[in-house]
Amino acid sequence: MKFIHLSDAHLDSPFLGLSFLPSKQFEQIKQTTEISFKRSVDYAIDEQVDLFLIAGDTFDSIHPSPKSQVFLVQQLRRLVDHEIQVVMILGNHDYLNPEEMLLVNSTYFKLLGQDQKIESANFKTKSNFEYVVHGFSYRENHIEQDMAAQFPIKVTGKYNIGLMHAGEKMQKGHNVYAPFTLSELKNLNYDYFALGHIHHRQVLSEHPLIAYSGNLQGRHINEQGAKGFDLIEVNEKTKQAQISFIATAPIEWHEAKFNLQQELALSDLIEQIAAKLNAEMQKRSLWGINIYGSDFLTEKEADFLQESEALEEISRKLNNNSLLVRIKLHADENLSLNKSDQAAFNQAQKQVLNKSEILTLGQSLAKKDDWLADMMQDDNFVEEVKSLTQVKLGQKLKELNDEIN
Amino acid sequence: MMKLTKIDIIHFGKLNNVSFNLKDSLTVFQGANEAGKSTTVAFIKQVMFGFYLRNNKTAPYFEDYNPLARVSPMGGSLTFEDGTDEYILKRLYVKGDSKKGVLTVSLNGQQVPEEVFFEKIQNIGPKFYVDSFIFNQDTLREITSLSQEQLMERIYFLGAAESSKLLDLRDDFDKQASELFKKTGRNPEINKLLKEIDKQTDKVSAASQEFEQYHQLDQQRQNLEVQKQAVKNSLAQVEEQVQKMNTLKQQITNYRDYQNLKKQLRQIAFSQVDFDKAQTLELELKNLNVSLQKLIQQFDQITVTLGDQDLSLQDIVNQKAQVLQWEAELKQISQKTTALQNELDQLQAYQPEAFKLLVMSETQLQELKDDYQKAKKQAREQATNKMQNLNVIGIILIILGLLLSWLVNPISILLSAIGAGMLGLNWYNLHKQNDEVQAFKEKYQLSLDNFDYNEAINQMIHIQSKQQELANNQSSQNSLESNLQEVAQKLLNAGYSVDSVSQIVPILGQVQNKIDNFNQAKQHLQDIKLQQNQLKDEINTDQVKLNKIYVKNKVANLEEFRELYNRVKEQEKLQIHVATLQNSLKDDLEQLKQLAPNEANFMQKQKQVNNELANKQADLNNLQEQIARLKAEMAQLADSSLVFDEKQALANLKSQLRERSIQYLANLTAARWIAVSLDLASNGRFPKMIKSAKEYFKLLTGGRYLDLEVDEKIKVITKTKRKYDIQYLSRGTSEQLYFALKLAFVEQVADKISLPILIDDAFVNFDNQRTKYIVQLLKGLSSKVQVIIFTQREELAESLGNEALRLTEKGEAK
């Protein structure tokens, strides 16, 4: 038996950090989500897989665009027309009322656990290999319950597959996405547990196999690397499975580091950055670059690098039609100050450059907008604030020093 | 603590060659107005920081203390003791020096670079010193302009080099932050973005209506599809009904036809055998008649050809022997005639006059005789006989002509004409013979000389006999010829052309042949007649048979019989038609029997059903149109990227907001970082200073004010917890506040900047109670900071408990 485990297509989902792109380029990129999904379906048909699992968040919201709905139906139709069993669940983003969805009416299509209760569906492959899929769909935004605990015990004599859209229980924060512990899932001892929700592909356990397939197409710089689906090939006699990753995303996000160790002319800087990216490039990518040692930049260079012009200019030098979409400057840890001041600044850095201090500073801003408040809680956000603060201050202190000296 | 221990004034303003030794950390200079208190204060300040002569603009806090006596040099020295170290600052000015004067610094008797001293006091500038260490009426008034900023700047100065620049930087960052976002405000970028995001969020949720819309449209479409199916089904039923009714309608027509045709069916007696026989007989008869007709024709033809054979022909043929004899006789006579003719011709040649006479009639002859006689009488009258002869011949000829005309027309006419001519001629002669001889001669062309009438008459008679003979001969010949001619005539009449008499015999031969042929033909005709009779018999027989058949079949003739036959055939066809109709109507026959009489009803019903059909079809079309419209709308929605676009726009705004927020927070954090760094670098002096200032203020106001708020503006809080801006404070209170803050500041910086506080008549507005407080405060402070008080108030000097240094009007110390 061969099956595909796919998740988090997030059709309709916007891309982040590309607003400066010319619309022609952006149009291409925005189609990649559908292309990636379609490639998965192509693969399923070409390789004649037995089962196509969709582990939730196919749509980005409970108000998917008709366009995306029609797209999904077309793709599902292709699968069922080729007699490929599709088992789909809904996640925390697409917890739609199934009655309001455009789906296919076929014995080859199953929307599992529509009432947010775990449902077990039994199937057979063409070679009469029997398998059962246990899972549920979201009907509301959040599920705080431990759903893993409600999964049935393994059905003997059949190949057992778990299908769930959920996040591992965290020590801190809200556990609102059907929180589970790995040991719970391991104890179920299903032959395969297909998870959705986390966009980063990961195999949580080899024995038994428990995996997130990750999302289908990276949409921002924090969804880096190849994206696609997991292919599971089962030895029907031993029920041993091989999991492999098949990349389908037409475009990947990547991040590179660039260490600046001396002052460079702007043109050299651009050349070197482009060369660095081209050296690391494997396929068409959207790049972010982190430039360390920003102290070596002149103010003019630093300013230029913050402009979208810099992105365009460097992008023109990239292979594979790739684009540089973000430049992040990082200052050295130490500010260039005299020793006594240095000590004070270092001490102050400890006091000031931390999350709680930054959030305190941002209080009045956070009050303005919930989304903003949530975003500010994000460690990445805080890190970016820290980093930018260092760059800014470093740059200014450097000027100050230059003035004095 | 570094202390100012000695003041040596060489020349400075009104003061010349004055020295003061300062022993304690709290020193009081007591002196009346104009005793040189302020000059001393200025001296201390200017020796340290420069004279700035006539340079009030750049340093307004430096008064020009050029010596009044115009003595040189200007200046003097200050001696500071710091533990075991002794710093002497000597600043002198002589003409040509810098306006600041020339400063020499010595440490423990050794001249050192001035930085050695100034680094000890953190390189502060004159303004710093004036603002922070000197209290006089002027500086006290500045309380209202005091701000956190100023206080902090001074205090941070101690921690970080270029603290003012750092503070500027901090302010810069703060400013940048506030350009990005303000708590209340519309224009900063983030405030704008937040608004835009609100709007865009609405747009996104509006776009998400597409989902509902699509779903609703789909629902509508499905409902319509169901309706359409229902209409389709009922339409099919109606169509079936219509079909049935149409069939039935057709059947009604068929039924009608059936009934009509059925009425037309007849039983007709008819014998095919007889009909066939009749036809055969008719044909036979026809053939027989044709044969008969042919025979008749043949017979008639022969009959016509044969014509009515002239029976006389046989008689003529029978005359053949006679004709042969006649021909022989004619030949004989003809020879005789020729001989006579010859004789006559000879006579004519020899006896022409006789011949002239010969042609004369009796009368003419008589006349001739008369004329002759007369002429003979005249000239022997001569012969008149001839004339007579001529007349005779003429008459004969006429008679002969007339006679002949009975026989042969042309000849008789000719003869008659000739006769008539002769008569005419005679007549003419009669009338013309006038002149007897001449006339005779002229008249008869006879010469009397040669003419002998008698002779002539004889001759004439001879000729006449000969002529008679010839005439007889002629007559025989004529008779023969006329016989022959008669035969020829007969032949001619019988249709044979006979050109000459000689042809008669051969023609008779022919005629004989013809007669034989005719008789043969006659025989043939008889044979034909026989055959005809036989045929007629046969015809009769057949006709009888035929008639019998006709009678039997009650027809007059074959035509009728054929008509009968056709009728029979038609009936047969009709029967088949009727049978077919009957067959096709079979199932509906009963229904049709009932329907047919009520066709109007049926038609009405059919019309209704047809209307229903049209209505249903219209319904169906309408539904189909609606569905098509819905589908088009759905397709449009399915093609719309509005949801994505709006979401993307929102995401873009949000990333912009995120980016701007990072910028904003980075600015704030940087400002904060600088502030904290400065705090740290200044060893936390600022908060400590504020703390002290609060205490001092409370102390100086006798507890009427409990607290201070040092923000951008300074505010005070009363013991009743009321908050005031400082501009509303009384002068006294505001001076107390100034003292509190400044003293707290100096206290805090004392470890770094150990310079004396100079209080120049600063308590003039203080009442006793308050003065007590300040004295108390200064006493306490002097353990940390050197305090030098210049006052005119003796009781104050006393209350401070130290021996005061007295300043006289001359500026000398007592």
Describe the crossing of helices B126-133 and B148-156 by its angle, rounded to 10 degrees: 120
Q: What is the pLDDT of residue B428?
A: 59
CB distance B251 to B585 below 8 Å:
yes
Residue of A57, A8, A44 lying closest to A200 (CA atoms): A8
Helix (H, G, I), strand (E, B) or coil at B33: coil
**pLDDT surpassing 70 at residue B132:** yes
Q: A196 falls in which pLDDT band (50, 70, 90)?
A: very high
pLDDT higher than threshold 90 for residue B805: no
A374, burial (CB in 10 Å: exposed 0-12, middle 13-18, buried 19+)? exposed
Lowest mean pLDDT among A150-159, B132-141, B390-399, B635-644: B390-399
Q: What is the pLDDT of residue B382?
A: 43
Minimum Cα–Cα distance from B676: chain A residue? A348
- Secondary structure class of B15 (helix, strand, coil): strand
B802 three-state secondary structure: coil
B428-456 burial code (b ≥16 CB/10 A, e <16): ebbeebeebbebbbebbebebeebbbeeb
* Burial (Cβ within 10 Å: 0-12, 13-18, ≥19) of residue B523: exposed
Q: Which pLDDT score is estimated for B814? A: 43
- Quote the CA–CA distance of B710 and B153 in Å, as a whole number: 13
Residue in B closest to A383 by C-alpha: B662
For residue B564, the number of C-alpha atoms closer than 13 Å in the C-beta half-sphere is 20
For residues B236-251, give the mean pLDDT.
86
Strands, E assignment, B611-694: none
Average pLDDT over residues A34-50: 97
Q: Do A17 and B655 touch (CB under 8 A)?
A: yes
In this prediction, residue B684 carries a pLDDT of 76
| Structure-model confidence comparison of residues A23 and A121, the more confident one | A121
CB contact under 8 A, A63 and B654: no
Binary contact (A66, B211; C-beta < 8 A)? yes
Q: Do A12 and B210 touch (CB under 8 A)?
A: no
Task: Test A65 with B212 for CB contact under 8 angstroms.
Answer: no
Q: What mean pLDDT do residues B72-78 have?
A: 89
Are A163 and A139 a contacting pair, CB within 8 Å?
A: no
Partner residue facing A385 (CB), from B161, B212, B669: B669
pLDDT (average), residues B363-374: 77
pLDDT of amino acid B505: 82
Q: Does residue B352 have a cis bond before it (omega within 30 degrees)?
A: no
Domains of chain B: 1-121+754-814 (3.40.50.300), 321-493 (no CATH)
Greatest mean pLDDT among B223-237, B307-321, B695-709 = B223-237
3-state helix, strand, coil in chain A (%, to 5): 35, 25, 40
Tell me the ipTM for this assembly: 0.88
Look at the domain A2-247 and name its fold. Answer: Purple Acid Phosphatase; chain A, domain 2 (3.60.21)
- Return the closest-CA partner of residue B363 out of B381, B387, B383, B397: B387
Query: What would the mean pLDDT of B112-140 be, rounded to a whole number?
Result: 85
The shortest C-alpha distance from A336 to chain B (Å) reads 13
- Residues near B210 by Cβ (< 8 Å), separated by ≥ 6? A63, A65, A66, B637, B640, B642, B643
What DSSP assignment string belongs to B438-449? HHHHHHH---TT
Asked if A65 lies within 8 A of B641 by C-beta distance, the reply is: yes
Q: Flag if A65 and B644 touch (Cβ within 8 Å).
A: yes
Residue A2, pLDDT > 90, answer yes
pLDDT of residue A216: 95
Q: How far apart are CA B89 and CA B77, in angstroms?
A: 5
Q: Do B676 and A70 touch (CB under 8 A)?
A: no
Give, to the nearest 10 degrees, the angle between helix A66-81 and helix B209-264: 60
Mutation to test the B interface, candidates A29, A352, A382, most B Cβ within 10 Å: A352
> Is the model's pLDDT at A168 over the cut of 90?
yes
B143 vs B735: CA distance, rounded Å: 7
pLDDT at B583: 85
Contact A313, B128 (CB under 8 A): no
Which residue of chain B comes nearest to A394, CA vs CA?
Answer: B670
Q: Does A221 contact chain B (CB < 8 Å)?
A: no
**Alpha-helical runs (H) found in B269-384:** 272-306, 311-318, 320-350, 352-358, 362-379
pLDDT digits (tens, 9 = 90+) for A97-110: 998 888 999 999 99
Average the pLDDT over A152-167 and give the result: 95
The pLDDT of residue B433 is: 47
Task: Look at residue B381 in the predicted model and tell me its pLDDT.
Answer: 41
Weakest-pLDDT range from A232-246, B413-427, B614-628: B413-427
A17-21, B283-287, B590-594 — which is least confidently predicted? B590-594
pLDDT for residue B811 is more than 50: no
How far is CA B462 from its chain centroid?
140
Interface of A with B in 104-143 (CB under 8 A): none
Q: Which DSSP symbol is given to B145?
A: G
pLDDT in tens, B296-307: 888 888 777 776
Higher pLDDT, B338 or B138: B338
Domain boundaries, chain A: 2-247, 252-404
- CA dist list (Å): A129 to A44, A122, A157: 18, 11, 10
Nearest residue in A to B643, CA atom: A65
The pTM of this model reads: 0.59
- Return the residue of A nearest to B207 by Cα: A65
Q: Do B209 and A60 touch (CB under 8 A)?
A: no
The pairs formed by B187-190 with CB atoms below 8 angstroms and a separation of 24 or more are B189/B660, B190/A365, B190/B657, B190/B660, B190/B661, B190/B664
Q: What is the mean pLDDT of residues A174-194?
A: 94
Mean pLDDT of chain B: 82
| Yes or no, beta carbons of B666 and A64 under 8 Å apart | no
Question: pLDDT digit string (tens) for B717-754?
Answer: 888 888 888 778 887 788 888 888 888 888 888 888 88
Pairing of strands A209-212, A192-196: parallel
A37 pLDDT above the threshold of 90:
yes
**Residue B633: closest CA among B206, B214, B350:** B214
Q: What is the pLDDT of residue B294?
A: 86
Rounded to a whole number, what is the distance in Å from the CA of A177 to chain B's nearest CA? 23
Residue A405, pLDDT > 80, answer no
Chosen for mutation from A23, A33, A63, A403 (greatest number of chain B CBs closer than 10 Å) is A63
pLDDT at residue number B383: 44
Q: If you average pLDDT over each of B163-172, B485-494, B622-631, which comes out highest?
A: B622-631
Q: HSE (CB half, 13 Å, CA atoms) of B643?
A: 27
- Of chain A, the percentage scoring pLDDT greater than 90 comes to 69
Q: Is residue B407 pLDDT above 70, yes or no? A: no
Phi, psi dihedral angles at A333 (to 5 degrees): -60, -40
Which percentage of chain B shows pLDDT scores above 90? Answer: 15
Report the chain A residue with the minimal C-alpha distance to residue B216. Answer: A100
B779: tokens are 């006493």
Greatest mean pLDDT among A339-348, B45-54, B490-499 lies in B45-54
pLDDT in tens, B389-401: 566 666 777 777 6
pLDDT band at A55 (very low <50, low <70, confident <90, very high): very high
